[in-house]
Structure 1
């Protein structure tokens, strides 16, 4: 009986190894065809422009094209959702904006942002601020607050989507300032900037995708949200300087489907790390006052775990948690 058991055990082990062999060979030869990189915002905005440069650099390193697939909407969470129905072979990867980590608190989903994504690498992050048209009567933040207090709910501002970091941070600031604002969501920076420059909106909150319009004299920056003032906008105070104990930046990186082989994750990580060190990528980020922000696969996974906990507190403070 023991001999028969050992023989059957050996056969099962060989069968298992045989089943895994082609998969292991595929991982070893990866990549052998183009890779799709799904990003959360439309073509023409700062995310699209900088990620295309990163993808172009990574293509040369990997020896296969890295093709951008824009999936805007749903607060920047569609790429992460696309990973849930993609093969874990490394040929579909996605941008993971901060909104992914609060999704479980605001929407009913059947997947877990931590357990169901393989975190590959963090590459950069957004710097944020509030802008108004150059001819706006709001010359500074105090003008903005004074108008909002005198006209509750009438001051319109746009963001790149409901429950995005710009939207939630603005609502936190409004709560602290004792004002009510009217939020108008857009799918991306390009549409948002067009709306505020044309006067359809009284203000916009966004990443520094607004930089070209400010430099062209079409918009004015009322504040920025980092620890320090931005070098490109030295006259714009931070939220902390204005009396709000808030610093908001928004790191983002690249994830792959759950179960992607570790060898494939490492190849992707190494290629994108090298790609983000290229001067062309650093220059692309610099157009929007963004900087490279590297996190390894392990560091990025830990960041994701910590951020999920932190975002829960923000959602609950604003009373936006979904019903149980």
Structure 2
């Protein structure tokens, strides 16, 4: 089979011919139809992600595929079922083995490309806004990086929860994407973000996958008793938080790592995904896949993320 693998952190990941692996006990073998890319794949490729495996390993955290074989003790999903699964690695390949318990059958109305890119982005925003930030209807949600893979989902989910959503994105094209996803107001990232948000009444909840100067601007625009959820640091700059500002304005800064729940509370993830699939079936969510790229162009697909040229989700389809 073909697999896009990291063999060393000193050399770029590359497409190689690799031996197919049969499923072990509790696993299924999938014929991979689509793999969603995430910023974490970039970090994993250079060894800086918090859950980076030891090389060699195949990149690709979330997939959709058809069950080709069952490991010992597996009764569901059934052979031939089309499922989505977050495996953490192994998705950028023709085939892969994944834990059967983490697989969820995909509705017929959902394409494999959408299903592959649905889990991390929507799961991250849903759990961050419901469980961690406890966003309430009528509050104002500020989404940084609002045209990115997770930012767009935060816009959609915030609107579905009854919030007024302010999206920050760079350039007219990305601002239009955020607006189309449901943002009530959009701000260009090159503007004075603090002043623009304050002019709209400030933010009660901030969703920040960007970090750096954007975090500092958002903090200054956060209302008293506001909550800031740290999703990641796409800017490459991890901000230092002035604790005195938190104290004076009674602001809470919340860390959130979606993948970490696999280790200490996987039920939170499966419950969240069940609700999201219901919302999708009801037409409340409109996932935006901006690029579908073949496996032999996986390096180009990752570059779309690195250069921030993807307004929406990037999916690789073997």
| TM superposition score normalised by structure 1 | 0.29
Indicate the structure whose relative CO is greater, using CA pairs within 8 Å and at least 6 residues apart.
1
More helix by share: 1
TM-score in terms of structure 2 length:
0.29
Q: Which is strand-richer, 1 or 2? A: 2
